[in-house]
Amino acid sequence: MRWRMLALLFFARIALGFQFQTAASVGGDLVTEFGIDYSEVGFLIGLFMVPGLFLALPAGVLGRYFPDRFLAFAGLSALALGGLLSGFGPGPVTIGFGRLVAGAGFLLATLYFTKMVADWFEGREISTAMSILVMSWPFGIAMGQVGHAWLAGLQDWRLPFVVASLYCAVAAAAVLLLYRAPDGRKTQAAGSSNRLSAREWQLILLAGTAWGVFNAGYVVYLSFAPQMLEELGHAPLQAAALVSVASWIMIFSGAVCGQIVDRFNHRDLVLIMCMTGAVASLWLIGIAGAGLAASLLFGLVGMAPAGVIMALSGEAVAPARRAFGMGIFFTVYYAIMAAGPPLAGWIFERAGTAGASLVLGMGLFACVIPVALMFRIVRVSGRVTEPREGGK
C-alpha cells in the first residue's frame, strides 16, 4: 500500500514542477509581448517562491486541524487557480498575481506531500522514498521544458499556463479521492513545545540553506542553460530538449543516490563528488558541442543528491519539534529561492550573456559543500555534549 501511495503522490507532485516551469519556458514570449526585460522575467519566476517566506510556519500549524489530503488538495487547487490567472491575465501584473497564488498552493502541497511520505515510510526506506518524491519536481519541469515550448509554438504563451492548470486540477482530485493515511499514524500532541535548542537552530538553518542554494542553482540552470545554448546557435526547441535531458535522468539517479547513501553512508563524500559534477556541467554548457554531455553529467551526478540534502531536515530537530523545525527549514529555502532567479536575471541583463548567470549557478552549487560539512560538524559535536539527543 505504501508504494501505491508513493506512486499517487509522485503523480500529483509532478504538477508542482509542471506549473512552476511555465514562466521560465515562455519568458522570451513575455519579453516580446509586454516589452519587459529578463530581470523582470526572473522576478516573475521568483514570485512563485515568495509566499513560502510568510506561509511556511502557519501551513505547518494547519495540519492540527485538517486532514493531510485536504490540505494537499487545497494546495493543488491553488496551483490550478494561479495558473489560470496568469494564463488569462492581460499583463505582467496579473501574471505576477497568478504566480503568487500558485506559489501559496506550492507551499501547502510541498509541506504535506513530504509529511504524507514520512508518515508512510517512517523508519523504513525513508531516504529512498523521499528521493523518489523529490524527483517528481524535475519530472514535472522536464515535461514543461519540452511541452510548454511546444504548446506555446502551437498557439501562444497562454496555452502552457492553461494546460498546467488542468493537470493540477486532475492531481488535486486524485489526491482527495484516492489518498489514504497509514493505519495507526501518530500525530504530534497539540501541547508539544516548539522551542528549539541553540544546536537545533544551527542545524535547521544549515539544512535550509543547503536545500535553498541547491535548488536555486537548479533554477538558474533551467532558466539560463537554454539561453546559453541558443547563444551557441541552437534553435529554442532544440535547446530546451537538450537541457531537459538532465531532468529526465535525475529522476532515476536521485533514487540510486538515496540507496547508496542509505546502504553505505559517506554522505559528505557523495555530496562533494556530486556538487563538483554540478559545477563542471554548468561550465561545460558554455562550450560549443558539449551541451548533451553537460546535461548528462548534470542529471547523472549534479542533481542526484536532492533527496539526500532534503533528508538533512529530518536529522536537524528532535521528533517532538520537527513540525516547527520544518517550517523554519522551508522559510530559509523560500527566502533563497525568491532571491535567486531575479539576481540571475539581473546578472544576465548587465553582462549580456547567459554564461554570467551560469557562473552564479556554479557558486550556488559549490556553497552546498561547506554548508553540508558545517552541518556534520555541528551535529557530531552535539553528540558529545548532548548524547541523548537525535541523530544516528
> Would 188 be classed as within a structural domain?
no
Q: Are residues 50 and 84 in the same domain?
A: yes
Cα distance between residue 215 and residue 305, in whole Å:
11
Domain end among 158, 181, 204? 181
> Would 62 be classed as within a structural domain?
yes
Q: Are residues 145 and 77 in the same domain?
A: yes
Domain count, the chain: 2
Q: Are residues 98 and 204 in the same domain?
A: no
What residues of the chain score a pLDDT lower than 70? 122-123, 184-194, 319-320, 322-323, 382-392
The CB density around residue 315, as the number of other CB atoms within 10 Å, is 16
**What's the N-to-C CA distance of the chain in angstroms?**
27
Q: Are residues 100 and 150 in the same domain?
A: yes
Residue pLDDT, tens place only, 138-149 = 789 878 878 898
Helices vs. strands in the chain: H and E counts, helices first: 17, 0
Q: What angle do CA 239, 245, 247 make, to 5 degrees?
A: 115
Q: Are residues 27 and 143 in the same domain?
A: yes
Q: Where are the beta strands (DSSP E) in 44-129?
A: none
CB 357 within 8 A of CB 349: no
CATH of the domain at 169: 1.20.1250.20
Amino acid letter, residue 211: W
> Would 189 be classed as within a structural domain?
no
Q: Are residues 117 and 198 in the same domain?
A: no
Q: Are residues 157 and 206 in the same domain?
A: no
Domain end among 148, 181, 214? 181
Query: What pLDDT is attached to residue 171?
Result: 97
> Would 203 be classed as within a structural domain?
yes
Question: 362: helix, coil or strand?
Answer: helix
The CB density around residue 99, as the number of other CB atoms within 10 Å, is 30
> Would 316 be classed as within a structural domain?
yes
Grid cell, residue 147, equals 511541452
- Per-residue b/e over 63-91, b at no fewer than 16 CB within 10 Å? beeeebbebbbbbbbbbbbbbbbbbebee
Residue-range definition of the domain harbouring residue 204: 194-392
Q: Are residues 237 and 383 in the same domain?
A: yes
Query: What pLDDT is attached to residue 187?
Result: 46
Confidence (pTM): 0.76
Cα distance between residue 51 and residue 109, in whole Å:
13
> Would 186 be classed as within a structural domain?
no
CB 255 within 8 A of CB 131: yes
> Would 187 be classed as within a structural domain?
no
> Would 103 be classed as within a structural domain?
yes
Question: 250: helix, coil or strand?
Answer: helix
Q: Are residues 162 and 205 in the same domain?
A: no
Residue pLDDT, tens place only, 88-129 = 988 899 999 999 999 999 999 988 898 788 778 766 777 778
